C-alpha cells in the first residue's frame, strides 16, 4: 500500500490523497495515513504515467550505448510507465525470437512496460515483408511495426504492409523520408545548411511520403502512424488527411518542438538528428498542430549513441539524441508555459493518446478509483539543469546539456510499484 498525500490530479482543483493498493487506485479523498508508505505530494501534480511510442533501447547489439535495463531506468525517471522499443537493433527485431527477448527482458527489469516494435520488412531493407503475423502472435504480442531509421519507401511494399496490418489489427508506423530526396543529406534544406555547406534534407522528402501514405492508408482502409513529424507542411497534410477521414495518427518529438537549425552553427553533432532540426517557423507550427490535435502525441525518439559515434566530424556522426528524461520538461517549456496546453492537455499528448494509438488498455487511464495505478508526480514549480553524464542512459548525447528546464518528476508508479523516486530509479 502506498498513500500519495496532497497531490492535485491534472493540476485542477484541490489537493487530494490517493491510496494505491494491489496495483490499483483504491481510494481518493481526504485519507488517513496509517502504516503504509507515504509519498508527500504537497505541491505536486498527478498525471497518468506517460507512454512513449518511439524509443530506441539498443538491446540487442549496442549494449555499450543503452540496455533495456538502463533505458527502462531513464524511462521511469522521465515519468514513463510504457515504452515502445524500435526494431533497428542488431540483430534487427524482424522475427519472434528478437521481439520475445526484448519483451522478456523488459518484464525482468520491471521498471516500465517495454513493448517491442517489429520491423515491417526483413532486415529493414524495404524489400520483403517481415513475418508480421508471427511477431503479432508471439509472446511479445507485437502491436506496432516500423522500419524506423529507414523509410518503407517502395509504395507497393507499403501498401501490402498496410493491407496486412488491417487484417492483423496492428499499426504501421512510418519513418517518412523519401530516400531519393535525401541522398547525402546532413541538415534541414534551408539558409543555415547552405551557409554551413551541409547537404540539404528537404521538407518535401517527409511531406511527400506522408501524403502518399495517407492516400494508401485511406485506399486500403488501414490505420497509419507517422513518426517524428518535423515540418509545417506535414502538419498541413495531416490536417487534410484527418479532415477527409483517414485513420492517421502522428507524433512529434520534444526536440522538434523546442530546437531549430540555428543550433547547427557550432557544427556540434549533438544537434544532428533525423529528421533534422528544422526552421524556427516549423517549431511554431508543430506546437500549434500538437495543441490542436492534428499531431496526436509526443514521442521521444530517444536515440542513445556512443561518444565515438557522436564526438566526431558532423558528416560522420550518427543522427539521434536522448529524450526520455527531458521530454516532460521540454513539453512544459514549449507547450504549458507557451499557453498552448494545460495539464489535461499534457496528460492527453503524453499518456492518453499514445496509449489509445497503441491499444494499451491499462495505460493513459483516468486518475480514478478502480483504475490501474500508473502515475507520475510532477513538481511544476521546480527547475533542474541538464547534465548528460548524470542521466540514467549509458549514452550522454543530450542537446539540452547545461540548460535549465522547468518541471521535476518526483515519483513514477507502475501498477502501484514505485519505479522512480526523487531522481532515483528503483533497481
Cell of 402: 547545461
* 166 CB neighbour count, 10 Å cutoff: 16
Is residue 114 within 8 A of residue 68, CB to CB? The reply is: yes
Is residue 57 within 8 A of residue 67, CB to CB? The reply is: yes
* 175 carries a ligand binding annotation: yes
Q: Is 301 a catalytic residue?
A: yes
Residues 6 or more apart whose CB falls under 8 angstroms from that of 175 comprise 146, 147, 148, 149, 150, 151, 227, 228
C-beta of 2 vs 182, nearer to ligand NCD: 182
* 185 CB neighbour count, 10 Å cutoff: 20
Kindly report the CA angle at 327 between 323 and 333, in degrees rounded to 5? 135
* 274 carries a ligand binding annotation: yes
Residue listed under C-alpha cell 490499483: 24
Closest distance of CB 274 from ligand NCD, Å:
3
Confirm or reject binding of residue 88 to ligand NCD (CB under 6 A): yes
Confirm or reject binding of residue 310 to ligand NCD (CB under 6 A): no
DSSP lists the bridge partners of residue 290 as: none
Q: What residue number has its CB nearest to Zn ion?
A: 175
Q: Which residues bind Zn ion (CB under 5 A)?
A: 148, 175, 301
Strands 417-421 and 404-414: antiparallel
Confirm or reject binding of residue 149 to ligand NCD (CB under 6 A): yes
Closest distance of CB 426 from ligand NCD, Å:
27
* 88 carries a ligand binding annotation: yes
* 62 carries a ligand binding annotation: no
Picked from Zn ion, ligand NCD, none, the partner binding residue 49 (CB below 5 to 8 A depending on kind) is: none
Is residue 420 within 8 A of residue 51, CB to CB? The reply is: no
Q: Which of 147, 282, 301, 309 is catalytic?
A: 301
List binders of ligand NCD among 273-292 (CB under 6 A): 273-274
Picked from ligand NCD, Zn ion, none, the partner binding residue 39 (CB below 5 to 8 A depending on kind) is: none
Picked from Zn ion, ligand NCD, none, the partner binding residue 100 (CB below 5 to 8 A depending on kind) is: none
* 141 carries a ligand binding annotation: no
Element (H, E) at 354: helix 353-358
Picked from ligand NCD, Zn ion, none, the partner binding residue 319 (CB below 5 to 8 A depending on kind) is: ligand NCD
* 58 carries a ligand binding annotation: yes
Confirm or reject binding of residue 175 to ligand NCD (CB under 6 A): yes
Distance in angstroms (rounded) separating the CA atoms of residues 414 and 375: 7
Confirm or reject binding of residue 66 to ligand NCD (CB under 6 A): no
Site string for ligand NCD, 336-375 (x = CB under 6 A): ----------------------------------------
Nearest CA-CA partner of 70 in 142, 146, 327, 78? 78
Cell of 396: 550522454
C-beta of 20 vs 171, nearer to ligand NCD: 171
Closest distance of CB 223 from Zn ion, Å:
19
Distance in angstroms (rounded) separating the CA atoms of residues 272 and 234: 20
C-beta of 48 vs 399, nearer to ligand NCD: 399
Closest distance of CB 293 from ligand NCD, Å:
23
**Is residue 257 helix, strand or coil?**
helix
Cα distances from 418 to residues 2, 32, 409, in angstroms, run 9, 20, 12
Contact pick of 185, 294, 303, 328 for ligand NCD (by CB under 6 A): 303
* 56 carries a ligand binding annotation: yes
**Part in contact with ligand NCD (CB under 6 A); list of ranges 74-82, 318-326, 328-336, 343-351:** 318-326
C-beta of 86 vs 418, nearer to ligand NCD: 86
Nearest CA-CA partner of 352 in 71, 51, 23, 150? 51
Cell of 115: 513493448
* 30 carries a ligand binding annotation: no
Active centre residues (catalytic): 301
Question: By the criterion CB under 6 A, which residues form the site for ligand NCD?
Answer: 56, 88, 148-149, 175, 273-274, 301, 303, 318-320
Amino acid at each position: 500500500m502506498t498513500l500519495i498525500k496532497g497531490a492535485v490530479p491534472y493540476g485542477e482543483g484541490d489537493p487530494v490523497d490517493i491510496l494505491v493498493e494491489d496495483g490499483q487506485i483504491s481510494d481518493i479523498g481526504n485519507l488517513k495515513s496509517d502504516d503504509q508508505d507515504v509519498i508527500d505530494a504537497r505541491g505536486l501534480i498527478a498525471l497518468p504515467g506517460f507512454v512513449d511510442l518511439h524509443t530506441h533501447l539498443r538491446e540487442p547489439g549496442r549494449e555499450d550505448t543503452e540496455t533495456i535495463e538502463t533505458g527502462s531506468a531513464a524511462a521511469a525517471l522521465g515519468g514513463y510507465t510504457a515504452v515502445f522499443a524500435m526494431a533497428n537493433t542488431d540483430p534487427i527485431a524482424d522475427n519472434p525470437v528478437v521481439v520475445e527477448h526484448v519483451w522478456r527482458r523488459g518484464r525482468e527489469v520491471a521498471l516500465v512496460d517495454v513493448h517491442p516494435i517489429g520491423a515491417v520488412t526483413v532486415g529493414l531493407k524495404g524489400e520483403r515483408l517481415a513475418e508480421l503475423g508471427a511477431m503479432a502472435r508471439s509472446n511479445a504480442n507485437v502491436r506496432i511495426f516500423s522500419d524506423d531509421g529507414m523509410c518503407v519507401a517502395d509504395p507497393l511494399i507499403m501498401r501490402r504492409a498496410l493491407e496486412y496490418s488491417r487484417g492483423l489489427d496492428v499499426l504501421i508506423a512510418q519513418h517518412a523520408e523519401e530516400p531519393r530526396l535525401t541522398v547525402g543529406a546532413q541538415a534541414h534544406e534551408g539558409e543555415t545548411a547552405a551557409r554551413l555547406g551541409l547537404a540539404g534534407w528537404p521538407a518535401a522528402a517527409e511531406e511527400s511520403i506522408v501524403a502518399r501514405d495517407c492516400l494508401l492508408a485511406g485506399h486500403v482502409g488501414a490505420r497509419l502512424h507517422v513518426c517524428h513529424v518535423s515540418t509545417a507542411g506535414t502538419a498541413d497534410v495531416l490536417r487534410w488527411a484527418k479532415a477527409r477521414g483517414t485513420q492517421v495518427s502522428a507524433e512529434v518529438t520534444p526536440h522538434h518542438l523546442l530546437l531549430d537549425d540555428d543550433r547547427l552553427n557550432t557544427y556540434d553533432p549533438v544537434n544532428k538528428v533525423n529528421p533534422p532540426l528544422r526552421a524556427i517557423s516549423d517549431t511554431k507550427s508543430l506546437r500549434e498542430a500538437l495543441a490542436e490535435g492534428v499531431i496526436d502525441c509526443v514521442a521521444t525518439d530517444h536515440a542513445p549513441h556512443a561518444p565515438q559515434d557522436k564526438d566526431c566530424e558532423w558528416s560522420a556522426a550518427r543522427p539521434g539524441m536522448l529524450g526520455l528524461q527531458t521530454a516532460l520538461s521540454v513539453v512544459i517549456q514549449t507547450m504549458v508555459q507557451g499557453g498552448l496546453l494545460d495539464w489535461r492537455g499534457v496528460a492527453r499528448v503524453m499518456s492518453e493518446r499514445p496509449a489509445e494509438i497503441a491499444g494499451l488498455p491499462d495505460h493513459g487511464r483516468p486518475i480514478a478509483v478502480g483504475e490501474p495505478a500508473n502515475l507520475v508526480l510532477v513538481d511544476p514549480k521546480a527547475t533542474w539543469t541538464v547534465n548528460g553524464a548524470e542521466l540514467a542512459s549509458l549514452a550522454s548525447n543530450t542537446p539540452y546539456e547545461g540548460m535549465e528546464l522547468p518541471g521535476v518528476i518526483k515519483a513514477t508508479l507502475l501498477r502501484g510499484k514505485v519505479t522512480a523516486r526523487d531522481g532515483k530509479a528503483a533497481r
